[in-house]
């Protein structure tokens, strides 16, 4: 690592989120950080660099294309950390993971695609362990606020006792074309995703002497959350539970429930119907193809709309034996601005800076953000304006 040309390479910098990540690094990377932009179209990369200001005028441009494994290998071997925003990852991500795992290069992405994450664990976790690479998926709004938020909440509770935490997500935001395309891929691949998840769980096993369980609650009104809530089966609770299996600090018996706040009951019903229709259509290839044409990758919300966006994730934690009515309670919140793009590019860039510069646990393989970086990344995000706070009773 010491003789790598770069600390960080941003692969996919000509895309919507990739360009925002490059802008963040141009403004906030510490002096002396060596970073570069990579992509398949050098003219477009040059245009992105030109918009970053005079301070980035000397930023190097690297040719890299997912259809050219040699270019991905050269990119991975040139840097300590690769940030990739090239998705949907199930289509375009494997070559970058393979190159980083072989080169011992750290890797971060912003995927919310469970099938991709499990496929990469099955194919490259052991190789990355041998090479020393840290493969860290879901370093954006999927799944940093939840993963680090639950870790932060657990740290406020006593050690050595059962812990249960409920997470409640509320947001006001718009999505980009890349996020829309990835969502279609997730919905269309539910069956294969479930199969891969089972295969991974059978190979991973369970932590020795501890229990970790996801609890799927039903829709219900919740005063602390601020409205009706519904179970939210995204990659985020999966990431949280993987962190809990790896870290003893979550206690001998850990349970997590994950919800989205949907407001009044009629809105919950309407969203439930819409979700059911969307899942059904995504299983039919012609319908999925038609849906994919509604929004293209590279499109995204305007700066004005992003400025009005925000997110809040509240956590209700309890330490003590379940069902006894005694123990310790804590309420926490993770809050920030535009979740999908402004804060995601911040989380992604700070994750890469954390891997490149900070003193972290000596681990390798496919890791969650909390396991790979944990409090070190949380401190970075707090300094960058994302709040992690304990709420008053």
Contact 128, 138 (CB under 8 A): no
Q: What is the pLDDT of residues 291-337, one digit of tens each?
A: 566 666 555 666 777 777 899 999 999 999 876 778 999 999 999 99
Q: Which of 47-61, 277-291, 349-363 reaches the highest mean pLDDT?
A: 349-363
- pLDDT band (50, 70, 90) for residue 189: low
pTM of the model: 0.89
Q: Which residue has the higher pLDDT, 264 or 10?
A: 10
Q: Does domain 144-337 have CATH number 3.40.190?
A: no
In this predicted structure, the answer to whether residue 264 has a pLDDT above a threshold of 80 is no
- pLDDT band (50, 70, 90) for residue 341: confident
Burial of 32 (0-12, 13-18, 19+ CB in 10 A): exposed
Q: Is 82 left (phi over 0), alpha (psi -120 to 50) or beta?
A: beta
Q: Report d(CA 84, CA 310) in Å as an integer.
A: 24
Q: What angle do CA 183, 198, 184 make, to 5 degrees?
A: 10
- pLDDT band (50, 70, 90) for residue 390: very high
Percent of all residues in the chain with a pLDDT value above 90, rounded to a whole number: 72
Q: What is the pLDDT of residues 110-130, one digit of tens each?
A: 999 999 999 999 999 999 999
In this predicted structure, the answer to whether residue 34 has a pLDDT above a threshold of 90 is yes
Q: What is the pLDDT of residues 90-117, one digit of tens each?
A: 999 999 999 999 999 999 999 999 999 9
Element (H, E) at 257: strand 253-263
**Same CATH topology for 6-141+343-376 and 144-337?**
no
Would you state the pLDDT for residue 262? Answer: 87
Q: What is the pLDDT of residues 232-245, one digit of tens each?
A: 888 999 999 999 99
Would you state the pLDDT for residue 177? Answer: 56
Q: What is the pLDDT of residues 207-228, one digit of tens each?
A: 999 999 999 988 999 999 999 8
Domain ranges across the chain: 6-141+343-376, 144-337
Alpha helices (H) along 51-176: 69-77, 89-92, 94-103, 114-131, 144-155
In this predicted structure, the answer to whether residue 272 has a pLDDT above a threshold of 70 is no
E strand residue ranges, 151-232 = 163-172, 211-214, 220-222, 227-231
Would you state the pLDDT for residue 56? Answer: 87
- pLDDT band (50, 70, 90) for residue 205: confident
Task: Name the superfamily (CATH) of residues 6-141+343-376.
Answer: NAD(P)-binding Rossmann-like Domain (3.40.50.720)
Residues 6+ apart with CB under 8 A from 379: none
- Average pLDDT on 341-354 reads 95
Q: What is the pLDDT of residues 361-376, one digit of tens each?
A: 999 999 999 999 999 9
Among the residue ranges 39-43, 244-248, 336-340, 375-379, the one predicted with the least confidence is 336-340
Q: What angle do CA 119, 167, 240 make, to 5 degrees?
A: 30
């Amino acid at each position: 690592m010491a003789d790598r040309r770069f600390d960080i390479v941003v692969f996919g910098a000509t895309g919507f989120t990739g360009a925002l990540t490059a802008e963040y690094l141009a403004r906030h990377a510490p002096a002396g950080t060596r970073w570069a932009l990579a992509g398949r179209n050098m003219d477009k990369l040059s245009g992105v660099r030109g918009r970053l200001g005079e301070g980035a005028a000397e930023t190097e441009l690297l040719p890299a294309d997912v259809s050219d494994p040699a270019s991905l290998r050269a990119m991975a071997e040139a840097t300590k950390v690769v940030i990739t925003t090239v998705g949907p990852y199930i289509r375009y991500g494997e070559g970058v993971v393979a190159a980083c795992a072989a080169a011992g290069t750290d890797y971060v992405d912003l995927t919310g695609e469970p099938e991709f994450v499990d496929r990469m664990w099955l194919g490259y976790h052991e190789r990355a362990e041998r090479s020393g690479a840290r493969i860290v998926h879901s370093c954006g709004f999927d799944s940093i606020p939840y993963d680090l938020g639950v870790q932060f909440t657990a740290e406020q509770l006593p050690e050595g006792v059962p812990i249960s935490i409920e997470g409640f997500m509320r947001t006001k935001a718009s999505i980009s074309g890349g996020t829309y395309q990835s969502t279609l891929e997730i919905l269309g691949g539910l069956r294969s995703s479930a199969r891969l998840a089972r295969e991974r769980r059978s190979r991973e096993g369970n932590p020795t002497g501890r229990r970790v369980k996801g609890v799927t609650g039903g829709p219900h009104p919740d005063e602390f959350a601020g409205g009706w809530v519904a179970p939210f089966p995204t990659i985020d609770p999966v990431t949280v539970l993987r962190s809990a299996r790896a870290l003893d600090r979550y206690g001998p018996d850990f349970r997590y429930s994950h919800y989205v706040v949907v407001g009044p009951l009629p809105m919950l019903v309407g969203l439930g119907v819409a979700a059911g229709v969307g899942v059904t259509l995504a299983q039919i290839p012609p319908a999925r193809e038609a849906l994919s044409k509604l929004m293209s990758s590279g499109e995204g919300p305007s700066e004005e709309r992003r400025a009005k966006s925000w997110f809040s994730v509240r956590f209700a934690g309890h330490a003590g034996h379940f069902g006894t009515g005694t123990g310790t309670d804590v309420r926490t919140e993770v809050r920030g601005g535009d979740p999908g793009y402004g804060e995601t590019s911040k989380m992604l860039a700070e994750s890469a800076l954390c891997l490149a510069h900070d003193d972290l646990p000596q681990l390798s393989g496919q890791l969650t953000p909390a396991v790979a970086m944990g409090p070190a990344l949380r401190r970075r995000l707090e300094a960058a304006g994302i709040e992690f706070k304990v709420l008053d009773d």
